[in-house]
Structure 1
């Protein structure tokens, strides 16, 4: 779809959404949100007709149409506060899809066999090449967060885990470390495959391409991920086992090691620049100047994610994250039917979360309402995991002073509370992180993160696969519980008397 046609189509959708009749009638105590209501929205968003909701695809247009028109039918208005772009905030992106690669390795003049299917490469440009002996940099940084080596012109091998230097403050995450290496002139940045993600799923995801914000398009000429056996073969050339390499890299004084293997890497990549969109609606409050509450979740998934030969080509993303968007839709409907709140309440569906929280980062840099006015941001993601009655866990517990309020509201609804901090392992992996990094109090509350075994069962099976589809077995009791929880949380935070919050953000 061309940019001009997409712009006209989205403008037409925005106009249609703005003139839909408001059919909901205000009620003092609307009935609780039901599983059936949540299911109906998931069934639409995760249907094959939406083609997996890939950014920049026909599936995006259908998704934005559905979200904006549904919110408008409940009585929401455009939340972009921009007459030129009602409902939809353009997010300029650059997409790269690899379609060919070549990997050759030699050591001491002899060929080194590296499994081709254990290497996944992508280039910055249509054609890229890098040669040389790779530099193993461990986690790539010192305890002070600066790079630990001069990498200009080098092929770099880096561990994908998070560095944990004793006494060090919060350090750059994997994506930031990759960008630091690229900005310092690395010819190629190779990382080890992250733990806990099946290689087949990871490779399929990488083959589907990568996206970056056009304003933050920093990458090495070649980027890649190595399966465990491939990275171990390279480390063995320097007489390092994977365990030894990890242990040495965790020591503050670690010195990067040149691996005595000459790599010759080549890539062919399709590059596309385009606009995707965040979709934003608003329930106006009664007290202008009292601030705003933001509920958000990502609408995107991986689209048509398999080749034409595959039996099922579409990654529908029913749980991740049609379920979260279904919650935002049902919560908006209930709040619109109830008494008007003091503060404005914004509902946002972000784009390209699956590609690195890109829509959320763009919003954080280009907010439609000053970040200092956003008193609380509530992110909703992957909620159709837990059964009804699951305890409420928090992603962000102990980080921003919201724990006590969330716990009290949950208990008032008969929910139990999971008070440990296990769920904080996901802080950097969800849209709230982009806002929290800017000082906005952000949290993700719900039952899905209270049972790590149940969550891991999803993450290691259908997660990011075509099998993430809505079925009769999809547990929606917990999703309905979480929807009702967010109705009450929003009402609490939107009440200036109950939550007289100090300014946040920058």
Structure 2
């Protein structure tokens, strides 16, 4: 899962507009149909099946599953092999692979010019954006009252990161060029890993070009900037970025399980297969980020759900199984799929995302990322109840909604949710995020927990079968978010 914490980048969270989503009225029909699979494995056997997948995908042989690497290609091949074995058809123009083009650049070096003085510094970090700017006026923001139509085209200066985090969305919506965030030295170091890593975007999308500029300025750079501007952070500044880049390709994996009534549309189940490759300090003994929980576990659950769906009675709607690339780089594989779907998005009635599920033990409630944002809530509650499961939704539903691949489909008119017991216990989730998330120790550790994941798989099977049945569920005609045009 991609995390956007206060001190972790990318800073896209700052640039996203605030969007208020309203749920469409749920359909009244909530009775799920039988899962229908033959020889459904027991809880213990399901844990073993999931662990077998994870042992392979999270092994050192796969090198952290970074897109564009041999480990990434091995991961794609593994999924394709399994989908073929289960009886799926190629889901993308006769192929199981949807090639995704990327462009990558090392984090750009930034030079700021103020009153004719060029300023470079080790604590001057470009967080987002690489488009040069010239003679942009600085405006200091002390409260929400300072953000109005007057910030159009200007670069805002924040002395408080929490203030920047809460107001930058509004400022960009009002046309602000971006923001300069003044930060103490310790905070600069917290930002540095995210601000200096390689940046990847979809090649045809030009993600960085023309985007807002977010800049962290530490004490040394701030002093230089103030001196050049005569002692105050007011006036006009220019910025020049320099970076080296490369192009590469990776692949989404798309398998299709044809339905008996393809005219009824399609549904999608997705999970991201990628992880970060290497992590940690250069001299660390173990630098492979294996990503066992994030997200070899999600791929394992997706594949086992796919196997059971293919093993059972034919569904009405077509089912697409989607293993996305480059989620960790900004939901890029899912975005590419949304922009280049195998069928028109209007024909896709629901999408189920599976991410980072090997955390909670058996017996935890389900939670839903995307709750009250789609017409899927009633069917989720009905299916869960039929399997003796409960649904409890807390703040995580809002906290993570834009941080997972379902968002790429959700805001383009496809009802998308992440359903998982891993997000149902905040203490368990927080413990993982603070100790293993994006670290080399996210591997199969002693006590690696698959109880909740194995218990969730039957829920996924039942949900997919429910959504694939037209009489039980259909997306309301013309359904879209209030601000559904995009991010």
Give the TM-score taking structure 1 as reference length: 0.73
Q: State the distance in 2 between where 1:308 and 1:347 align.
A: 37
**Range moving further from structure 2, 486-495 or 411-420:** 411-420
Alignment partner of 1:49 is 2:61: yes
Pick the aligned partner of 1:94 from 79, 98, 103.
103
- C-alpha contact 1:213 1:358 (8 A) present in aligned 2: yes
Mapped pair 1:366 → 2:378 = no
Does the 8 A contact of 1:96 with 1:269 survive in 2?
yes
Matches within 5 A, 1:71-90: 71-80=83-92, 82-83=93-94, 86-90=95-99
**Residue equivalent to 2:82:** 70
> Which of 385, 406, 423 is matched with 1:449 structurally?
423
Q: Secondary structure at the match of 1:460?
A: helix
Pairing 1:416–2:426 present:
no
Partner of 2:152: 149
SS in 1 for 2:267: strand
8 Å contact from structure 2 (residues 181, 215) kept in 1: yes
In structure 2, distance between residues paired with 1:192 and 1:317: 34
| Correspondence for 1:463 | 437
How far residue 441 of structure 1 moved from its aligned partner, in angstroms, is 0.7
Structure 1 equivalent of residue 202 of structure 2: 213
How does 1:295-444 map onto structure 2 within 5 Å? 295-306=269-280, 308-444=282-418
Runs of 5+ consecutive residues of structure 1 not aligned to the other structure: 1-25, 166-170, 239-257
Q: Corresponding residue for 2:40?
A: 30
Asked if the contact 1:192/1:231 (under 8 Å) is kept, the reply is no
C-alpha contact (below 8 Å) 1:379/1:444 kept by paired residues = yes
Deviation readout 1:455-497 (Å, 9 max, x if unpaired): 2222222212222212132211111122221011111111222
SS state of the match for residue 321, structure 2? strand
**Within the alignment, does 1:285 sit opposite 2:259 as a pair?**
yes
Secondary structure of 1:278 counterpart: strand
* Displacement of 1:46: 1.2
CA deviations over 1:224-275 (Å, ceiling 9, x no partner): 6538x659967x979xxxxxxxxxxxxxxxxxxx825998977653301222
Measured after TM superposition, the shift of residue 122 of structure 1 is: 7.8
How many residues get paired?
435
- The secondary structure found in structure 2 opposite 1:211 is strand
Task: Work out whether residues 91 and 359 of structure 1, in 8 Å CA contact, stay in contact via their aligned partners in 2.
Answer: yes
After TM superposition, the structure 1 = structure 2 runs for residues 168-179 of structure 1, keeping only pairs within 5 Å, are: 177=172
Following superposition of structure 1 onto structure 2, how do residues 167-246 of structure 1 map, counting pairs within 5 Å? Answer: 177=172, 190=180, 203-219=192-208, 226=216
Q: In structure 2, what is the Cα distance between the partners aligned to 1:205 and 1:315? A: 16
1:150-189: CA deviation from partner (whole Å, max 9, x where unpaired): 24xx697696878768xxxxx9699xx59976xxxx5x86
My pick for the range that moved more, 33-42 or 441-450, is 33-42
Q: CA deviation at 1:142?
A: 9.4
Distance (whole Å) between structure 1 residues aligned to residue 180 and residue 428 of structure 2: 32
In 1, are the aligned partners of 2:152 and 2:175 still within 8 Å (CA)?
no
Unaligned runs of 5+ in 2: 1-35, 481-487
Does the 8 A contact of 1:139 with 1:160 survive in 2? no
Contact 1:210 1:355 in 2 (8 A): yes
| Alignment check: 8 A CA contact 1:29 1:338 kept | no
CA distance in 1: counterparts of 2:356 and 2:220, whole angstroms: 32
Supply the distance in 1 between the matched residues of 2:419 and 2:294 (Cα, whole angstroms): 16
Alpha-carbon distance in structure 2 between the residues aligned to 1:297 and 1:179: 35
Per-residue deviation at 1:89?
A: 0.9
What is the Cα deviation at residue 94 of structure 1? 1.1
Deviation digits for residues 95-143 of structure 1, max 9, x if unmatched?
1123x85779999x9x9997x3684668849xx8989885556899998
**Distance in 1 of aligned mates of 2:276 and 2:69:** 10
CA spacing shift, 1:120–1:112, aligned 2, 3 Å:
closer
Distance apart, 1:277 and its partner CA: 1.4
Bigger shift: residues 414-423 or 198-207: 198-207
Cα deviations by residue, 1:175-222 (Å, 9 ceiling, x for unpaired): xx59976xxxx5x865578xxx99767533443311111222143699
The question of whether the paired residues in 2 share the 8 Å contact of 1:141 and 1:148 is answered with: no
CA distance in 1, matches of 2:255, 2:174: 33
CA–CA distance in 2 between the matches of 1:390 and 1:351? Answer: 29
- C-alpha deviation, 1:343, in angstroms: 1.1
Cα distance between partner residues in 2 of 1:435 and 1:190: 32
Shift of 1:305: 3.5
